[in-house]
Chain A
C-alpha cells in the first residue's frame, strides 16, 4: 500500500479539475458573455455593468428581418442528411466488404479508403465546376452529398469492422435459413451493428455541423447559408454594423448541438477513435 493513497487521489482530483477548467471554462465564459448586451461586450470591463445579463442578443439573432434561425435550420438539414446518408451508405458497403468475399473487393475497398488521402480542401476548385454542371451549387442536398463523401472512408471502415465482429455461426445460420440478404441485415444483424451506425452518424453530423470552407465555396445565396457561414456575415457586419454581442450569441448557438450530441453519445465517439487509432 502507498503511504498516502487518499492524499494522492485528492491531488489527482485537484489536478484534474484544474486541467479540465483550462479546457471548459473559456467556453462557459463565452456563454456567460453572450448574455451581456452589445454595449457591455465592446466596452472596457467594469464591475458596474458586469452582471447585467439579458437575452437581447439571442432575441435579435433569432427574430426579425436578418434572423439566423433559417441558417440554423439549414445547418440542421445538411448535418442530419449527411449523417443519415453516411450511415446508410457505409452500412451497405461494410456489409458487402465484410460478408461477401468477391473478386476485386480488396481493390474497391482501397479505392474507397483512397478518398481519405485526398484532402477535400485540394479538390474544391474542380468540384465547384463539376457541381455547377450537376446543378448542385447553392443546394443543401449538394452540400450534404459532398459531406457524405468525405465521411465515407471512416464510416465504411467502422462498419466493415462491425460486420466482421458478427459471430460466424450467426452468419451461417442466416445463410442456411435462406433469408434474403436485406432481410438478414434488418432482422439478424441490426442489433449487432447499431453501435457502429451510431459512431458513423455521429462523426458525420459533427463534421457537417462545424464545416466551413466547403459551405463557403458551394453556397452563395444568403438564404441557404449554413450557420458557420452566416456568422461570417455577422462578423463583418453585412447585416448592418458589426455587432460582437450577436457574434458571441451565434457562436454559442453553434456549439450547443455539438456539446449535447457529444455528451449523450460520447462512448460511441471514443469507441470510433480508439478502433481507428489501434489499427492506424
Chain B
C-alpha cells in the first residue's frame, strides 16, 4: 500500500520537475515544427485569410531555380570543408591526446577560435581580406601567392576559398576535442602487443584506433556536416550571398524568402525540406559509421 502511494507521489513529483523543460521544448521547438508543416500547405499571407493549397508550395520548389542553386551550393561547400576539418582535427587530436607536459595548454589554445565564434571572426576576416589594406593580401603577396590587389570577397571562387579556410581554422578544434576524448578512452594495453609485433604507427592508428573510435568519428562528422549544411553567418557577413546569388546557402535562401520576399508558405516548405535533409544526413552517417551494428 505504502509503495503504491510512494509510486504515485514519485510520478507526480517527477512530472512536476520535468514539466518546465517539456513546456519550453513544446512551445519553442515542437509546435513551430508542426506549425511550419501546416503553413507550408497554405498560401499564408502577412495579413488576411489564407487558403490550403495542398502540396503546391512543394511542387513549385522543384522548379525554383534559386532554391535548387542554394542546395547545390550548400552541398558543394559541405563537400569542400568536411574532409579538411576532419583531417586537420584528427591530426591535432593525435598531437594533444598524450598527457605529455604542455598538451593541455596546446589543446586550450587550439580550441580558442571555436569558442570565440565564427561571427566575430567573420567580421575580422572582412577587414583583413580587403584588397591593398588587408593583412591576408600583405602576407600572401610577400610570399608571391597572390597580387596585393586581390579582391577576395567579390569573386565566387576566391570568396569560397577564403571562407573555407576560415571555417577549417575555426572548426577543426572542435573535431580535435571530440576525437581526443574518444582516443583517451582507448585502453593503452591494446597497443602494447601491436608494438611488440613491430606494427608501424600508421598501421596501429588504422587498425586499432580508428575502428575503436567509430562512435567519436561518427559524432564529429555529423556535427561538422550538419553545421556546414546549416551555414549562414559567415556568408551573410562576408559575401551577403554574392557576387550575384552565387554564394547563397540554403538557410540564407529560406531567410530571404521569409523576410525579404515575405512568402511564408514557400519559406516553410523550404524549411521542412531542410529538416528532412538534415535528419537524413544524420541517420545515414550514423548507420554508415556504425556499420549496421548496434
Contact = CB atoms under 8 A, between A and B. Distances in A.
Contacts of A126: 32-33, 35-36, 39, 268, 271
Contacts of A156: 21
Interface residues of B, number: 88
Contacts, number: 272
B127 A244 contact: yes
Nearest to B14: A100
Contact of A259 (B25, B103, B115, B233): B115
B258 A124 contact: yes
Interface string A1-44: 00000000100110111011011101101100100000001111
A250 B169 CA distance: 21
Interface in A222-280: 228, 231-232, 235, 244, 247-248, 250-252, 254-255, 258-259, 262-263, 266, 269-270, 273-274, 277-278, 280
A117 interface: yes
A51 interface: no
17 contacts: A44-B148, A93-B20, A96-B13, A96-B17, A108-B15, A114-B29, A114-B30, A122-B278, A125-B39, A130-B32, A130-B35, A150-B29, A209-B117, A213-B232, A213-B251, A216-B236, A278-B185
Contact of B13 (A22, A100, A213, A270): A100
Sort A-B residue pairs by CB-CB distance and give the 7 closest, nearest first.
A96-B17, A100-B14, A210-B117, A93-B21, A20-B109, A102-B14, A149-B28
Contact of A130 (B31, B115, B135): B31
Interface of A is mostly: helix
Contacts of B177: 270, 273-274, 277
Interface in B127-185: 127-128, 130, 132-133, 135, 138, 148, 169, 173, 177-178, 181-182, 185
B24 A15 contact: no
Interface in B220-275: 226, 230, 232-233, 236-237, 251, 254-255, 258-259, 264, 267-268, 271-272, 274-275
